[in-house]
Amino acid sequence: MKKMTKIIAAVMALVLLVSITACGKSGLTLEDIKADGKLIVATNSEFPPFEYKDGDAVVGFDMDLCAYIAKEIGVTMEVLDIAFEDVIANIQSGSAHIGAAGMTVKPDRLQNVDFSDTYFKASQVIILKEDAAFTATSELKNMNIGVQDGTTGADYVRENIKEPMGFASGALAIEAMKAGQIDCVIIDNYPAIEFVKKNPGLKVYETPLTVEEYAIAIPKNSPELVEVINKVIKDLTANGEFDKLLEKYELK
């Protein structure tokens, strides 16, 4: 019995400690961002039309959206262009204030970051060589599938089909398919359309494999930042600017 009491006391102490750490840990405030003088946005610029390079500049739908967020906070915007799979870690470490990378809201990501309201519906689709005979997704199990590391596409293939071949970017996966190393690439639907436009000889098998929604990734425990980002999304939707952005990037 005494032992039991000790165990219960130890468990209760642990629970208290964990909850204090969770509540006490403050995230990012708007003052913090203003003190830095700029909003640092982590992204991966190989995901058109959401983020891509135009010369040296990183542009795209997400970047325009973040420019509005920076303006609302009253600072300029700076892009931290890194591998997609490193975006969340860079927000956690404070190297970036937010992440805007066509990022799908997923329960396991919510353990490490918070998300804004969602702003775009997406799905995973299959890119194939134009001459590939492919009629049903059940054929995927017999194919070598390329994905981008750390993405929902990679998760989908691993959980539902087989171990995929991972690449640092969608563009590298496409190159590997053109070189005959893999049979197809599974990636988000709008980037897939862009990749096929730029690479003659490829096609998209458009049957959606997943249903997903993109949101801005925000450090944990940063309620002001969540509020301001959600306000920008709401305002742009209400005043028609959001629709204009969708049209600008051929997302509707």
Residue ranges in contact with ligand GLN by CB under 6 A = 44, 47, 84, 101-104, 148, 151-152, 188
46, two tokens:
């190989």
Cβ proximity to ligand GLN, 43 vs 222, nearer residue: 43
Q: Minimum Å distance from CB 64 to ligand GLN? A: 16
Cβ proximity to ligand GLN, 120 vs 242, nearer residue: 120
> What's the CA gap between 238 and 77, in Å, rounded?
23
**Helix or strand run (H / E) with residue 218:** strand 217-218
Give every CB contact of residue 118 below 8 A, 6+ residues apart in sequence: 105, 213, 214, 215
**Four-residue CA torsion sign, 95, 89, 151, 227:** negative
Q: Say if residues 60 and 1 touch (Cβ distance below 8 Å).
A: no
Cβ proximity to ligand GLN, 69 vs 103, nearer residue: 103
How many Cβ atoms sit within 10 Å of the Cβ of residue 197? Answer: 12
Q: Minimum Å distance from CB 84 to ligand GLN? A: 4
Q: Minimum Å distance from CB 181 to ligand GLN? A: 20
**How are beta strands 145-148 and 184-188 bridged, if at all?**
parallel
> What's the CA gap between 87 and 96, in Å, rounded?
8
Residue labelled with tokens 């000889």: 201
Q: Minimum Å distance from CB 73 to ligand GLN? A: 23
Cβ proximity to ligand GLN, 102 vs 219, nearer residue: 102
Residue labelled with tokens 């204030």: 97
Q: Minimum Å distance from CB 105 to ligand GLN? A: 8
Cβ proximity to ligand GLN, 137 vs 210, nearer residue: 210
